[in-house]
Structure 1
Amino acid sequence: MEHTDVAVIGGGQSGLATAHALLRRGLRPVVLEASSTTAGSWPRYYDSLTLFSPARYSSLPGMPFPGADRDRYPHRDEVVDYLAAYAGRLDAEIRTGCRVTAVRRTGGGFEVELGGVGKLSARAVVAASGSFGRPHRPALPGFEEFAGQVLHSADYRSTAPFADRRVVVVGAGNSAVQIAAELAKTARVTLATREPVKFAAQRILGRDLHFWLTRTRLDTAPLGRLLPRPPAQPVLDDGRYRAALAAGRPERRPLFTGTQGAKISWPGGEREEVDVVVLATGYRPDLPYLAHLDGALDAAGRPRHREGIATGVPGLAFVGLEWQRSLSSNSLRGVGRDADRIARRLAAGFRETTGSGRS
């Protein structure tokens, strides 16, 4: 059976940053990516998506985000190109079209099953597959029998299919507000939320918010210990989205109370027919391949870890989890810090058992 130091599962931003960090510490990773590209979930995000952080704060270790304007907010396709270029510069084995179906414990480490096309043994495993493959669809009041069209924001691409339709977007985060405001240009849209939308200024005293997060070190503070559950994050706004909601484009309402057929019931008793409901309700870690590892996941499929190190499975680690260690843990600007920390811990473990690896 083929053997490697570390099997890195996922070839998006988290997996690439992890491979870079492992190589710096003298370990030879194999990156296993289920899709055909090394851009993670970015190619599948909606067409108009732009980063919330400027280019100067949107780089992986060792390669600045390209472009002369360091203060611009890069488009989705720029990120795809950047990640492909980053992968091309890595001196690591990256296998695309290689889906991991199971990871099992063996006496000397792990056995990684590769979708019916073979197996790989590894001394350590880093789960860096993100969450895009597991869209969260929460239980909503009376929603089980809704007869209209339902899709998750993971399936949304552009406004074209929704022109002149009645649409309800559920969610209060950045994606929910962005999608609802975009759809409101061509459709009749309501943003349905449990609580009022909270906004944070994109720029403060002439500087992007990320400048201040970096300057105050809030971006890197180990808040994951203090906030085990991700809090509701405010919508970053330069004023456009707050103005759109104030103008009713989209309108904002409290979450509906039930459905009957294709009709939705609003608080207060009003009922109306709705064509489409878009669930912009986030994602959960996508880790089904760890189901055979006792202690790796809890009953809800969430990873058991402390700042990315699995608490019950020696040699297993995670990179790219939301609030893994800080508020930037699952972002381009922050994932490299967590990846380096994980690589350092794995290399230390290797030295303890074999005397190999470098610091």
Structure 2
Amino acid sequence: MNEVVIIGGGQSGLSAARALNHHGIRPLLLEAGPEPTGSWAGYYDSLTLFSPARYSGMPGQDFPGAAENYPHRDEVVDYLRRYAGTIDADIRADTTVTAVEAGSRGEFLVRTGTGDEIPAAGLIAATGSFGNPHLPAMPGFTGRLSHVADYRNPKAHHGERLIVVGGGNSGVQVAYELAEVADVTLATRAPITFLPQRRDGRDVHHWLAESGFDQLPPQWLIHYLGGPLVMDTGDYRAAVEDGRLRRREMFTAFDGDQVVWPDGERERVDTVLFATGYRPHLGYLDPLGALHDGMPLHGGGLSMTHPGLGYVGLEFQRSFSSNTLRGVHRDAEYVVEALVAHVRDAPAAAGVSTGSGRTPV
């Protein structure tokens, strides 16, 4: 039986594998894609990190290049590819997990798309959310509806009348890019909150790290953050303020190829592009009973339903930086500490009889 199986081979899964290595465990890591670089290769072509290289590295390997450079999507893919080479794990790419079930001896049974059944004493779900984009149900529109997860570049939208829905980083960045070739309106439920990329000559990530904001727990963050923050170099705010990028309050309905704005105005639209975020990509845990309405039942990444099940890479899992390159290792280390105790049967070693019938690895 495997001691620990990790599902997902992006930054979260690799961070978990590295943490397990420090406890002498060589995990089995299952990645649905062709290589352990997560979802990065699937993001839009112009994507760059909002954190400079100085704050984008993971433990054990600095991000290459100039410290103040903002890495491009492809640079992140290359970085993760190299990082995976430093991990001692049995990495199986092109392996999709279809379901996880409970075994008769307290173990997890991981089923794959190729028909394999893999037993594991411990399990880490590190599949992130990119595979589960949130597309609101808004019937009645005869134009094109899409999600930013499927967007690559502006070429396909040249000359269109287009609405981008969402006031977060992706929505604003993509709308700004599209405005160069299309007639774009950014539709949001509230005014956009811009956070300057640089303050007092330093990138905002310096202040996030130095102040400790990066590690504030989600229970406190809700008191500080009124909504999404958009990292702004100055270009985005300026484009909204001078009208190059129009922002309107969210439309109320669709009617054929038109949207209906709150003031009753109707406007013909070719495409509505939703930048409405993602939900955890964890459907394979449904048979286990570890989810509620698709959301994991957990505390800080430790399952509240199944001992031995942990999560890494959830947004705001334990802090502001939980699912970022710079911060995911802290959550991985926290989850792995408990997981290692479980797979090595700490209750029995302490003289506690759990009655679970779990067979130690």
Measured against the shorter chain, the TM-score band is over 0.9
**1:82 pairs with 2:51:** no
**1:149 pairs with 2:144:** yes
> Which residue is equivalent to 2:263?
268
Q: Which amino acid aligns with 1:344?
A: E
The structural deviation recorded for 1:137 is: 1.3
**1:322 pairs with 2:315:** yes
Q: Secondary structure at the match of 1:219?
A: helix
Between the aligned partners of 1:312 and 1:292, the Cα distance in structure 2 is 13
Between the aligned partners of 1:33 and 1:353, the Cα distance in structure 2 is 31
**1:121 pairs with 2:119:** yes
The structural deviation recorded for 1:113 is: 0.6
Check the 8 A contact 2:134/2:276 in 1, yes or no: yes
Q: Secondary structure at the match of 1:101?
A: strand
The structural deviation recorded for 1:348 is: 2.4
Runs of at least 4 residues off by over 3 Å: 225-231
- Equivalent of 2:291 in 283, 292, 297: 297
**1:239 pairs with 2:237:** no
> Which residue is equivalent to 2:15?
17
Map residues 104-253 of structure 1 onto 2, 5 A cutoff: 104-106=101-103, 107-139=105-137, 143-221=138-216, 223-226=217-220, 232-253=227-248
Q: Deviations over 1:119-143 (max 9, x none)?
A: 111100000001011001124xxx3
The structural deviation recorded for 1:96 is: 0.2
Q: Which amino acid aligns with 1:314?
A: P
Between the aligned partners of 1:31 and 1:226, the Cα distance in structure 2 is 33
Q: Which amino acid aligns with 1:199?
A: F
> Which residue is equivalent to 1:94?
91
Count how many residue pairs are aligned between Structure 1 and Structure 2: 347
Check the 8 A contact 2:26/2:88 in 1, yes or no: no
Between the aligned partners of 2:267 and 2:206, the Cα distance in structure 1 is 45
Structure 1 unaligned spans of 5+: none
The structural deviation recorded for 1:246 is: 1.3
The structural deviation recorded for 1:259 is: 1.5
The structural deviation recorded for 1:35 is: 1.0
Between the aligned partners of 2:256 and 2:47, the Cα distance in structure 1 is 33
Task: Single out whichever of 229-238 and 89-98 deviates more from structure 2.
Answer: 229-238
Q: Secondary structure at the match of 2:4?
A: strand
Q: Which amino acid aligns with 2:140?
A: E
**1:308 pairs with 2:308:** no
Check the 8 A contact 1:265/1:271 in 2, yes or no: yes
Between the aligned partners of 1:108 and 1:304, the Cα distance in structure 2 is 19
> Which residue is equivalent to 2:354?
none
Between the aligned partners of 1:232 and 1:120, the Cα distance in structure 2 is 41
